[in-house]
């Protein structure tokens, strides 16, 4: 039997606004975030990092009094053939019950089988059977949390012969059946497109993917950096969240914000984590890019409102 004892909820800081991008709350930035209180719109946490107590939980409590917070899970394995682990789901329920986050999200992926956890977000074939399994798992989570969640599209490196449903349509059917929302990771859309159709065709394929998502159900957008790998002469992009957002992803982001204007934006940076002010600067660029896209401008304004003439640094990586 799982622990169903309720805990006293804290007062939420409010809802994030679409015109102010958020950043991930990462351990190296705990102290500087609270000391400097940067002008970001909101914060996202990885649920599994804050299910215990200690210093991380105390930092989260202080940060949540200043910014809206979302909870992003990585361990439920909603794409698997087995239901979510009851103990893990109960820990998530206790966290969200206490934190009262603005949003809760998870991935369209599986993470383990037969009691083995693989510490990765693994792909699934898009079939009627897998759709039924994911719908069952999402409904279990939403019933336990007593709230709808958002499901994020994955970055993929292969396609299954068994797949019968396009990924965007799979997400749309999932949302229609369960009442969940969609988290559109623009970097993942671009990474998958390049990996499957190549660099030249990717922008059009990625834009068509966005156009096929149900606009009213996309409530959140993710941005991140990716790595370029040479696989026997073939370019493969890896969703590593380890650097600046690439220019093609910024261009796709402009398409996304025009299609999903009410969705909030989150800037992810999880490996090679730079100083906090680097993340804040990328979030500010997202704000400028969003405003320019909605205004119909080709180029975003700079921090002072003038045309942005900052040199292109999309290939740089933080040390």
135-158: per-residue pLDDT in tens? 999 999 999 999 999 999 999 998
305: left (phi over 0), alpha (psi -120 to 50) or beta: left
What are the pLDDT digits (tens) for 63-122? 999 999 999 999 999 999 899 999 999 999 999 999 999 999 999 997 866 676 666 788
Phi first, then psi, for residue 208 (nearest 5°) are -65, -35
| Residues in a beta bridge with 44 | 24, 70
d(CA 138, CA 104): 12
d(CA 299, CA 87): 48
On the question of pLDDT at 319 being above 80, the answer is no
* Cβ-proximal residues to 82 (8 Å cutoff; 6+ apart), any chain: 113
**Per-residue tokens: 228:** 């370029």
Confidence of residue 249 (pLDDT cuts 50, 70, 90): very high
Nearest to 73 by CA among 111, 40, 130, 35: 111
* pTM for this predicted structure: 0.90
């Amino acid at each position: 039997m799982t622990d169903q004892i309720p805990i006293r909820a804290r007062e939420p800081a409010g809802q994030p606004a679409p015109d102010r991008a958020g950043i991930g709350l990462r351990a190296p930035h705990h102290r500087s975030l609270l000391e400097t209180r940067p002008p970001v719109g909101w914060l996202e946490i990885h649920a599994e990092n804050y299910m215990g107590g200690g210093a991380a939980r105390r930092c989260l409590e202080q940060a949540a009094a200043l910014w809206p917070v979302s909870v992003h899970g990585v361990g439920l394995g909603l794409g698997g053939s087995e239901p979510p682990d009851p103990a893990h789901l109960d820990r998530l329920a206790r966290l969200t019950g206490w934190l009262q986050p603005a949003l809760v999200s998870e991935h369209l992926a599986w993470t383990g089988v037969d009691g083995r956890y693989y510490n990765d977000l693994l792909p699934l074939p898009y079939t009627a059977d897998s759709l039924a399994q994911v719908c069952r798992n999402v409904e279990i989570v939403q019933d336990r949390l007593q709230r709808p969640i958002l499901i994020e599209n994955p970055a993929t490196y292969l396609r299954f012969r068994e797949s019968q449903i396009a990924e965007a349509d799979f997400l749309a059917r999932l949302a229609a059946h369960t009442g969940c929302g969609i988290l559109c990771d623009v970097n993942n859309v671009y990474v998958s497109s390049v990996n499957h159709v190549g660099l030249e065709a990717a922008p059009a394929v990625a834009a068509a993917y966005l156009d096929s998502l149900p606009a009213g159900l996309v409530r959140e957008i993710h941005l991140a950096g990716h790595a370029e790998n040479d696989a026997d002469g073939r370019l493969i992009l890896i969703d590593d969240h380890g650097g600046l957002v690439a220019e093609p992803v910024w261009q796709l982001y402009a398409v996304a914000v025009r299609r999903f204007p009410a969705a909030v934006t989150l800037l992810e940076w999880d490996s090679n984590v730079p100083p906090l002010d680097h993340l804040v600067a990328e979030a500010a660029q997202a704000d400028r890019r969003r405003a320019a896209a909605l205004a119909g401008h080709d180029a975003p304004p700079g921090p002072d409102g003038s045309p942005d003439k900052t040199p292109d640094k999309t290939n740089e990586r933080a040390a």
